[in-house]
Amino acid sequence: MTRKLFIVALLLIAGVLIFINKGGDEAPYHSFHGNIFGTRYKVQYQAHKKLHKKLGLTPNQLKQQVENEFQRIDNIASSWKADSEISRFNRSAAKDDFRLSKELSEIIALSEEVKASTDGAFDIHYRGNEIDVSAIAKGYAVDRICDYLGEELHIDAFLVDIGGEIKAKGKNAKGKLWTVAIYIPPSHAHVKGPHVELSDTSIATSGQYFKPDHIKQAGHGISNDLLSSSVIHPSNATADALATALFVMGSEAGLAWAKEHKIRAIFIKTDGTVIETMGAKR
């Protein structure tokens, strides 16, 4: 091969490689983050070339739509806001006459289902007839945002994370399943936490280092051998509630319940032992 032909061949190969690399850039991933529900959130999504134009939304406008929905749910379910719907409900003397929103009705209904199925390990009721849905609200918000991105905007791939309650659809920017690591607090840095692959499903984790007040209210005061419990489930609201319930049960009863109900769960004990039902890898 002559020197000229060799150079031409190299240029052609380089051109093919550039074309291949550009092909992966045709659907870049956008991300944004912020604060909500007293914690951090992050949203990543795949944006095809004309996605924002087709939607009539700039990336900043899409972020604002998401944050507006977060705020709307917070104004319904926050026990910290005196003027939230749930706070007004708790102050109401005639609760049977209180008109609940569709969202709070759904949250309460799911909470009661989980309470029944876990023999009361998850319970939103406290101080008589008051309720606190903090142990399920973040998961519910994750589901709502995912419905908005997937069903309303028809985005093919995304991940929504609110303080460790995570739901994903499709694949990440590398064309692989979304992989998330279960948080291990610095006090247990020696523990090798599991990694979980997600696509069209979600994960939620409960632990004393995440939301102790929520867990104590949902379980009415607990003391057991668990550092955390995680549940993988298509519904993040369900995963959120079940993760709390399993934490309240403790490793032995929680594992037995998860196996009986065919729930994907991961338990990390205070001694560093990791127990998994199915679907997790390290």
Work out the pLDDT band at 281, boundaries 50, 70, 90.
low
Question: Does 83 carry a binding-site annotation?
Answer: no
Which H or E run includes 226?
A: strand 226-233
Mean predicted confidence (pLDDT) in 209-221: 52
Mean predicted confidence (pLDDT) in 138-149: 98
DSSP states of 5-20: HHHHHHHHHHHHHHHH
Mean predicted confidence (pLDDT) in 243-272: 95
Mean predicted confidence (pLDDT) in 252-262: 96
pTM score, two decimals? 0.85
* Cβ atoms of 237 and 160 closer than 8 Å: no
Question: Does 244 carry a binding-site annotation?
Answer: yes
Say if residue 25's pLDDT is above 70.
no
Cα separation, 227 vs 141, in Å, equals 25
- The residue with greater pLDDT, 189 or 56, is 56
Q: What are the residue boundaries of the structural domains of the chain, listed by start?
A: 27-276
98-117 burial code (b ≥16 CB/10 A, e <16): eebbebbeebbebbeebbee
pLDDT digits 0-9 by tens, 41-52: 999 999 887 888
Cα separation, 168 vs 158, in Å, equals 6
pLDDT at 222: 61
Average pLDDT, the chain: 86
* Cβ atoms of 246 and 264 closer than 8 Å: no
pLDDT at 8: 36
CATH architecture under which domain 27-276 falls: Roll (3.10)
pLDDT digits 0-9 by tens, 65-92: 999 999 999 999 999 999 999 999 999 9
Mean predicted confidence (pLDDT) in 143-154: 97
SS3 58: coil
Alpha helices, H only, 148-282? 212-219, 236-249, 251-260
Question: Does 135 carry a binding-site annotation?
Answer: yes
Say if residue 97's pLDDT is above 90.
no
Q: What percent of the chain has pLDDT over 70?
A: 84
- The residue with greater pLDDT, 48 or 252, is 252
Cα separation, 64 vs 60, in Å, equals 6
